[in-house]
Structure 1
Amino acid sequence: MNNAKLKPRYLLPLKLAIYSSALLAVVHLSAEQRKLTVAISTDMPPYVMDNGSKGLEVDIVRQALEGYELEFVQMPLTYVQSAVQNQKADIAIGVLVDGGEIYYSDHLVTFVNFAISKKRDSLAIDTVDDLKSHQVLTWQNAYLELGDEFKALFSPGSEYRANYHEFGDQADQVAQFWKADKQVIVIDRSIFEFFSKAMKQSTDSVEYHSLFPPVTEFKASFKDKAVKDAFNRKLKEMCQSGAYVKLLEMYDVELERTVCEKIN
């Protein structure tokens, strides 16, 4: 009889231990869920800078995912596009929608792309078709992102593909442009001007040829729909509060229109 009465006293520490272990497991799981690996491009100032530690894209993501522990992993753009699909990251920044069992954010960043030539070369470039007779320097997969005419000219296997050169590092792309004459670089204006200034090259000596859509916009891809939804909500708040525009101003990115105009 006495043993029966004492039994619950012996069970209590066991129950507490089991409860504590379960609670710790939940806390650990919650902490793990707050850690996210973010695939992002190699440096392309002012969007990604200093080995991925800062830049317009980096700061947008940090603000939009405030409260999460983010680990930015840099990789070539071609790998960024499929990083979530290939389970290399929880999030990938600056991608085009290409399906798969993943989730896409609202547009988060805008690029303004030009074909740029040196004034001393006097190249007649008024249409996309005019590019086919020149050496064209681009970023990886640019042929997929600049409209159907550009894609038809420079897709793998096309007649003019030999004139088309992709660079994984846009610093190398800009450096190559300044090394030789009679070349055309296709690039975002802010990226071109940042690297040119760093290389002590004057952009007063170039022509900007406006051949492409006014802006090219990119999204982020997510493994987790809830994280994507939280990102979109915060991005909308950043647009409404003016925080997004402040980031553009901080990184000296001038745009006629921003992604905020599409976010309701």
Structure 2
Amino acid sequence: MMTCLTVIYITCSSGTKAAEKLTVAFGEVLAPWVLAESNKGIIIEIFESAVRPMGFEVEHVYLPYARRINAYQNGLVDVTSDINLNTIQGHALKGFFSDIAYTYENFAFSLHKRHFNFSHMNELKKHSLLSWQDAAIHLGAEYAQMVKSHAQYSETFDQSNQVKMLFLERYDVVQMDAQIFAYYRAKIAGSDGVDTTQRVDSFPLFGDSPNGFMFRTKKMRDDFNVQLKKLKQTGEYAEIFARYTSIPPESFVPETKP
């Protein structure tokens, strides 16, 4: 018995040290960037692949954008996603901002039969517009100024609802990332009487939206940046995108007007 106990003690003592948990706040309805039901998605895989060599296990927390910010500010999570310089300034966030980890490409989407032809975001003030939560801060001063005087502007944390509202003609225009739009357009096709086969026009009025993560410690942020760079150099970064879309992140272009 003593021999058996000794073997068990040695085995346990020499075993691999358990990974330290890192609590991270991700978006709630943000496919294909975040798939909360399976703990998968582009953003999650980028983050997990970067921190795994650092010895961390990710504990996922899924929250709407405003609650993610509150959770980070109140010390309930170690890291939060979807951060850029606008959100850092707008919410007075304290911490250490990573290098850019991914980039959203936001477009204004409208039904083709409406025959809109937007060339500047101020033209959207004439039409009902549904955007995503905290866009007025995230997208910068020009966008914030436009929506401040927009009488028919709303935001929602559920981006699948944006797609539904467009095809149900509840809103003239929705503003969202191209890959998110494409994902939910395919997912809700034929459901709830939503005709997603209608032609859609898209307008690149907002430019790219580069994002990263906010960390509580400088060392963790610096180590993450090193691993993120390696992901990009080895090709694993591109492979992550390829698992969720056949179109490379830098060249995704949705359906546009002829």
> What TM-score, normalized by structure 2, do the two folds share?
0.80
* Cα distance between partner residues in 1 of 2:125 and 2:49: 42
- Supply the AA of the counterpart residue of 2:60: F
| Structure 1 residue 104: Cα displacement | 1.1
- Listed as ranges, the matches of 1:1-264 within 5 Å are 34-51=20-37, 53-66=39-52, 67-97=55-85, 98=88, 99-154=92-147, 158-160=148-150, 162-180=151-169, 183-200=172-189, 201-202=195-196, 205-213=199-207, 215-252=208-245, 253-256=247-250
Percent of residue pairs identical: 29
Residue 4 of structure 1 is matched in structure 2 by none
Deviations 1:27-68 (A, max 9, x none): xxx868x11111111021110014361000010011011031
- 1:86–1:52 CA distance, 2 compared to 1 (3 A): farther
Which range is displaced more, 227-236 or 77-86? 77-86
Kindly indicate whether the alpha-carbon contact (under 8 Å) linking 1:116 and 1:206 is maintained by their aligned counterparts in 2.
Answer: yes
Kindly indicate whether the alpha-carbon contact (under 8 Å) linking 1:40 and 1:52 is maintained by their aligned counterparts in 2.
Answer: no
Kindly indicate whether the alpha-carbon contact (under 8 Å) linking 1:52 and 1:74 is maintained by their aligned counterparts in 2.
Answer: no
- Paired residue secondary structure (2:94): coil
Residue 255 of structure 2 is matched in structure 1 by none
* Cα distance between partner residues in 2 of 1:189 and 1:228: 28
Residue 16 of structure 1 is matched in structure 2 by none
Deviations 1:51-94 (A, max 9, x none): 36100001001101103121100001122234322201001111
- Supply the AA of the counterpart residue of 1:102: G
Kindly indicate whether the alpha-carbon contact (under 8 Å) linking 1:78 and 1:141 is maintained by their aligned counterparts in 2.
Answer: yes
- Supply the AA of the counterpart residue of 1:41: G
* Cα distance between partner residues in 2 of 1:94 and 1:181: 28
- Paired residue secondary structure (1:218): strand
* Cα distance between partner residues in 2 of 1:196 and 1:119: 15
For structure 2, the residue ranges without an aligned partner over 5 or more in a row are 1-12, 190-194, 253-258
* Cα distance between partner residues in 2 of 1:181 and 1:237: 45
* Cα distance between partner residues in 2 of 1:188 and 1:242: 24
- Paired residue secondary structure (2:37): coil
Residue 261 of structure 1 is matched in structure 2 by none
Kindly indicate whether the alpha-carbon contact (under 8 Å) linking 1:52 and 1:73 is maintained by their aligned counterparts in 2.
Answer: no
* Cα distance between partner residues in 1 of 2:62 and 2:164: 21
- Paired residue secondary structure (2:210): strand
- Paired residue secondary structure (1:152): helix
Kindly indicate whether the alpha-carbon contact (under 8 Å) linking 1:65 and 1:234 is maintained by their aligned counterparts in 2.
Answer: yes
For structure 1, the residue ranges without an aligned partner over 5 or more in a row are 1-23, 25-29, 259-264
Runs of 4+ residues deviating >3 angstroms: 201-204
Deviations 1:149-184 (A, max 9, x none): 221111xxx331x31110111111211121116610
- Paired residue secondary structure (1:38): strand
* Cα distance between partner residues in 1 of 2:78 and 2:124: 38
- 1:238–1:203 CA distance, 2 compared to 1 (3 A): farther
- Supply the AA of the counterpart residue of 2:149: E
Largest Rg, 1 or 2: 1
| Structure 1 residue 140: Cα displacement | 0.6
